[in-house]
Amino acid sequence: MASRRTIEEWIAAGRIEVNGKPAHIGQRVGPSDRIRVDGRAIELRHAAAPPRVLLYNKPAGEIVSAADPQGRPSVFERLPRVREGRWIAVGRLDFNTSGLLVFTTSGELAARLMHPRYGVERQYALRVLGRLSEEQVRQLLRGVLLEDGPARFDTVADAGGQGVNHWYHVTLREGRKREVRRMLETLELRVSRLIRLRFGPFALPPGLKRGAWRELGAGALAPILAELLLAPALAPKHPSARPR
């Protein structure tokens, strides 16, 4: 009937009744309860299908959109069909970035993973030409200034490399457009490859080929859902990050 926020407003305004009494936020209802909105009886639908979650290894050269005016390949073209609802991409990866994409049929789960107030950690592997100096690592951890505000990594770890190219693993708790690449560009460094390894509790499965997906079974998914959907919102870890 409406978004969760709107429903909460209706509850606060006294527009929703449960068994003839004003509803309150957090109230539990079951099949035998009678729900009315503005005096109109609402038919409850119980036993909704549990959410589904897919882990997809996105190759570079695909867009995270169902349609593209330029006709580029879409990640959605490779996903299995769902009988009810639709696949929701949890976050995005730009055209040239590869790695983990999480898809779910649950809007609530997607919101929990993406909303900034929950501070869900993302991990990436990035490759640059040469090595980061100690001062550059300190800058990335303290914060650099982007056109849309300050940004910083929570961790930067050397992951080795061969020849002139070097790999680093970084973590952050935001998902702004091209954020990782733009952070390195402030140091006049170009990211030649970028791979997402993890999004919150979901990691890129070892051996999952590029362009392939794997659906999580109910047994593996249940404890993750319980932890995510019951976890309180987090205060921003670095609410006043400032470049120095």
- For residue 243, being part of any structural domain is answered with no
Query: What is the reported pLDDT for 243?
Result: 41
Q: E-assigned strands of the chain?
A: 16-18, 21-22, 35-37, 40-42, 53-58, 88-90, 98-104, 122-129, 144-146, 149-151, 155-160, 165-172, 191-199, 202-203, 213-215
Query: What is the reported pLDDT for 241?
Result: 45
Query: What is the reported pLDDT for 244?
Result: 42
Strands 149-151 and 144-146: antiparallel
CATH number of the domain enclosing 119: 3.30.2350.10
| Whether 21 and 63 share a structural domain | no
| Whether 183 and 220 share a structural domain | yes
Domain extent, residue 31, equals: 4-42
Query: What is the reported pLDDT for 121?
Result: 96
The answer to whether 110 and 214 have CB atoms below 8 angstroms apart is no
Q: Which residues of the chain have pLDDT under 50?
A: 235-244
- For residue 47, being part of any structural domain is answered with no
> Each residue of 174-219: pLDDT tens digit?
989 999 999 999 999 999 999 999 999 999 999 999 999 999 998 8
Query: What is the reported pLDDT for 233?
Result: 55
Query: What is the reported pLDDT for 239?
Result: 42
Residue bearing tokens 């997809």: 56
Positions marked active-site: 94
Query: What is the reported pLDDT for 75?
Result: 96
Give the three-state DSSP class for 42: strand
Q: Which of 221, 231, 235, 147 is nearest to 183 (CA)?
A: 147
CATH number of the domain enclosing 16: 3.10.290.10
The answer to whether 37 and 31 have CB atoms below 8 angstroms apart is no
